[in-house]
Chains A and B, each alone.
Chain A
């Protein structure tokens, strides 16, 4: 599809847009499944208020909070560890919220190098949290 043939509209990049909407839905499902699994496992005391058929609140139980704390501690440990350069870039991006372009400018590297650092960090995080 030739770029010039695209109608000018609010959506600059339809593929990026679809990806984003799709990801939001995937993330929602994953979160809902996590909550349901914990509930089914009987860990959650009594957490969910139901308004009609809709769950209107889902405050974490003590169990959820403890699991959450452990996981956050795990993230922090991996993020503070090696490989240092990649983790530093990743922290700037994900924790501090700096854009790739901002990080590239700060560190005097290319955006492509920023992407590579972030990919390396993600890969390490995934492995570290997988076991």
Chain B
């Protein structure tokens, strides 16, 4: 679709000002409202810009010899990301047989032999779905390392990252997930386990799971029901139960992170899983809370999205990203 030149020009000019502290939001709103073509032109520009941002690493590889080398020291930041792995799984269509299989395209079935562990590693921009030998399904988040062993009584070890599970009900066996020195057992449910940077988080969308320290007695188990989550800091043996929105469990599976009044530290812990650098919340920002939606993409823009809406200052020190308050009013 083609718009009047001036409309595109104006849309581009508005879009380029979004970062400005002096952005005239009211005037921008007036301009958008003035004519339906303005909104369309603006969306076209914004979507194009976002697409370029998301494919940035691939574009960078095609650009002629790096003309920005003299700024190499600035390039050492969150936007430096590895190329997505080429070993993306190929889905193989499966004939639809029976209600259970309806709509399912199964690609790889984890090994059914006992003992041998299969290791799955996901790149920065990819998630993977794995059909477990017991009929349960596992979805692995970006930047994760997960191993599966145990055949028909699967034992999943999350060394790094996150995985969500849809477990078929079967009273004969229990699926077990190990993460950060804890074991999560479950019977027919949907839940999510995150293990990253010294933190384990379990959230339950449906059914019930029990969480115990590895080697702990059954009496030590913490039972989580649908709509509950447990945040664990294994190093400090602190576990905190909280209520969660079941609809938001494993929101990363659709490429988004949803928050409703979440402490900044929690948001930062999630972002750390996708960004290259460690993320630290300085005391000056520790009291901030975030509500809203972040789009994960390749992880490189998450901090920018946060910075766009929170009064924070981002500093990079020795490869660690610090989020501090701006001290604004």
Known: A23-B46, A56-B129, A92-B71. A10 touches B288 (CB 8 A): yes
Number of A-B contacts (CB under 8 A): 191
Kindly state the separation between the CA atoms of A17 and B25 in the bound complex, as whole angstroms: 11
B4 at the interface (CB under 8 A from A): no
B272 at the interface (CB under 8 A from A): no
Smallest beta-carbon distance B87→chain A, Å: 11
8 Å CB contacts to B: which residues of A95-131? Answer: 95-100, 102, 106, 111, 115-116, 118-120, 122-123, 125-127, 129-130
Smallest beta-carbon distance A70→chain B, Å: 11
In the complex, which residue of chain B has the Cβ closest to the Cβ of A46?
A: B93
B173 at the interface (CB under 8 A from A): no
Q: Which residues of A contact B44 (CB under 8 A)?
A: 126
Q: Which of B56, B91, B127 has the most CB of A within 10 A?
A: B91
Q: B5-13, B178-186, B196-204: which lies at the A interface?
A: B5-13
Smallest beta-carbon distance A43→chain B, Å: 14
Interface residues on B, range: 35 or more
Q: Are A91 and B68 in contact (CB under 8 A)?
A: yes
Q: Which of A80, A102, A118 has the most CB of B within 10 A?
A: A118
Q: Are B309 and A16 in contact (CB under 8 A)?
A: yes
B89 at the interface (CB under 8 A from A): yes
Q: Are A76 and B59 in contact (CB under 8 A)?
A: yes
Q: Which residues of B contact A118 (CB under 8 A)?
A: 12, 16
Task: List 7 A-B pairs, minimum CB-CB distance, nearest first.
Answer: A97-B79, A46-B93, A76-B62, A50-B103, A15-B25, A12-B311, A119-B16
1/0 contact string of B291-315 vs chain A (CB within 8 Å):
1111100001000110011110000
Smallest beta-carbon distance A44→chain B, Å: 10
Kindly state the separation between the CA atoms of A79 and B53 in the bound complex, as whole angstroms: 12
Q: Which residues of B contact A13 (CB under 8 A)?
A: 25, 309
Q: Which residues of A contact B107 (CB under 8 A)?
A: 49
1/0 contact string of A1-33 vs chain B (CB within 8 Å):
000000010111101110111011111101000
Q: Which residues of B contact A98 (CB under 8 A)?
A: 71, 74
Q: Are B293 and A95 in contact (CB under 8 A)?
A: no
A73 at the interface (CB under 8 A from B): yes
Q: Are A130 and B2 in contact (CB under 8 A)?
A: yes
Kindly state the separation between the CA atoms of A52 and B165 in the bound complex, as whole angstroms: 12
Smallest beta-carbon distance A73→chain B, Å: 6
Listed A/B pairs (30) with beta-carbon separation below 8 Å: A12-B309, A16-B309, A20-B308, A27-B46, A46-B91, A46-B94, A49-B104, A54-B254, A57-B139, A60-B88, A68-B58, A72-B55, A72-B62, A75-B51, A75-B52, A76-B63, A79-B63, A88-B67, A95-B63, A95-B79, A97-B56, A106-B71, A115-B13, A115-B17, A115-B20, A119-B12, A126-B12, A126-B44, A126-B45, A130-B1
Kindly state the separation between the CA atoms of A11 and B261 in the bound complex, as whole angstroms: 11
Smallest beta-carbon distance B8→chain A, Å: 6
In the complex, which residue of chain A has the Cβ closest to the Cβ of B102?
A: A50
Smallest beta-carbon distance B70→chain A, Å: 9
Contact of A12 among B2, B88, B310 (CB under 8 A): B310
Q: Are A45 and B91 in contact (CB under 8 A)?
A: yes
Smallest beta-carbon distance A88→chain B, Å: 7
Kindly state the separation between the CA atoms of A16 and B75 in the bound complex, as whole angstroms: 26
Smallest beta-carbon distance B88→chain A, Å: 6
